[in-house]
Amino acid sequence: MPAWTKSLVGLLALAGGAVSCAHHGDTEVVPEHEREELLKKWDQEWSFSGIASFAHLKPVKCLIEPSENYDIAVIGAPFDTAVSYRPGARFGPRAIRAASARQMSGTSFNTRAGINPYKSWAKITDCGDIPITPFDNGLAERQMYEAFLELGSRKVVNKAPKGGDSIGTGHPKLVTLGGDHSVALPALRALHQIYQKPITVLHFDAHLDTWNPVRYSAYWQSEQTQFNHGSFFHKASREGLICNSTSAHAGLRTRLTGVDAGDYTNPGPEQGFIRIHADDIDDLGPMGVVETIIQRTGLDPEQPVYLSVDIDVLDPSTAPGTGTPEPGGWTTREFIRILRGLEKLNLVGADIVEVSPAYDNKGETTALAAAQVAFEIITSMVKSGVKEDLGGWYGNLYEDASVGETESADVSRDEL
């Protein structure tokens, strides 16, 4: 009798059971060989099929599964009630997950890095979304903090082969899909709690986000007006969460308040960031931007780094679907190259925020860029834990293979 006929018989038996209100037998155990057959037959997804998790990773509501462990957690933070202009980033996690559909584990070898992050040492889980209230930002802050703290305090599954010397080794790494940028504040609070020291923040954004909240209104102030997507780093700095001597802004091109560059010095260099402007890439090139950043952040294995990516660091032509767009930014390619140059940073957490799909286009340009940014960041997190030297840009794996020399490229591939 073929397997499906047996299942049908089983179903009929169940239906019979339902009539007599019996419950036993409704969780029939599938024999091992049938399970194998089923997996061979149906355990496949196409890029366009399946329920949308990030990169088709196994979706788990980790917050209600306390025994679920992982090495890297992707977390949605659908929150956007702290924005100053266009809302809609609460739909960011959904859009980024949908745009990650072509990141199948079997087809995600990152040629720029020389590694497939989904087929390496790390267990990566899509932990679902934090159910954040849209009605009370004070409560939302608390929900996010508690969620990040819980998810970041779980046990790792596979200790990174390399990295016994890094402060992050015993803790899972968190990758947040925002959400407006204020989600970075509860994330930093949680990381500060986990690592018990100020965190180095590498911040890619058109804007400073260190603004004193009085910039929005000096008269109408409350505790809650301090929590907004332009002032959360100000608050984080005041709370001592940010390491003042190693942090950097990159991609800046925002207009400032008033008639001079006072926003840069007021409320003070104590904000602790150096500033790399969007235009600097013309003089420095992407790798010069990388060098400037690394000079500032250092590569100290004892110093945790949080990477915060506001998608508006990209030019609106490559990322229109965002809350506060600023023309004159970097292209997706330039930014990816910068990110690849930073793969040795000691990342313990990251976010990709401010994707607002209502302003995106039919090609989902912004969400695609965000999904790619997440891919590059996850690649770096995994690659930093790999023991063998996979090389840098384009992995140097194919160093014999320059363009056009396909023969030697084949040879290097075979040697893998």
Ligand X SMILES: *[C@@H]1O[C@H](CO)[C@@H](O)[C@H](O)[C@H]1NC(C)=O
Query: Footprint of ligand X on this chain (CB under 6 A)?
Result: 198, 237-238, 240, 243-244, 270, 272
Q: Is the backbone peptide bond immediately before 286 cis, with ω within 30 degrees of 0?
A: no
Compare residues 244 and 331 and give the one whose CB is closer to ligand X. 244
Residue 113 C-beta: closest distance to ligand X, Å:
32
Contacts of 317 (CB under 8 A, 6+ apart): none
203 is in an annotated binding site: no
In the chain the first and final C-alpha atoms are separated, in Å, by 45
33 is in an annotated binding site: no
Q: Is the backbone peptide bond immediately before 392 cis, with ω within 30 degrees of 0?
A: no
User: Tokens 């969400």 sit at which residue?
Assistant: 367
Residue 248 C-beta: closest distance to ligand X, Å:
14
| Other C-beta atoms lying within 10 Å of the C-beta of residue 240 | 11
229 is in an annotated binding site: no
Of 414, 404, 415, 381, give the one whose Cα is nearest residue 110.
381
Compare residues 248 and 378 and give the one whose CB is closer to ligand X. 248
Write out the H or E segment, with its range, that includes residue 34: helix 32-42
171 is in an annotated binding site: no
Residue 155 C-beta: closest distance to ligand X, Å:
28
Q: Find residue 77's DSSP bridge partners.
A: 178
Residue 223 C-beta: closest distance to ligand X, Å:
18
Compare residues 7 and 244 and give the one whose CB is closer to ligand X. 244
Residue 241 C-beta: closest distance to ligand X, Å:
7
Of 127, 128, 126, 108, give the one whose Cα is nearest residue 118.
108
Contacts of 145 (CB under 8 A, 6+ apart): 186, 189, 190
Residue 353 C-beta: closest distance to ligand X, Å:
23
136 is in an annotated binding site: no
Query: Are 332 and 367 spatial neighbours (Cβ–Cβ below 8 Å)?
Result: no
400 is in an annotated binding site: no
| Other C-beta atoms lying within 10 Å of the C-beta of residue 53 | 19
Compare residues 244 and 266 and give the one whose CB is closer to ligand X. 244
Compare residues 239 and 405 and give the one whose CB is closer to ligand X. 239
Q: How far apart are CA 70 and CA 125, in angstroms?
A: 6
Of 73, 76, 81, give the one whose Cα is nearest residue 94.
76
Residue 74 C-beta: closest distance to ligand X, Å:
28
Residues comprising the binding site?
181, 205, 207, 209, 310, 312
Residues comprising the binding site for Mn(2+)?
181, 205, 207, 209, 310, 312
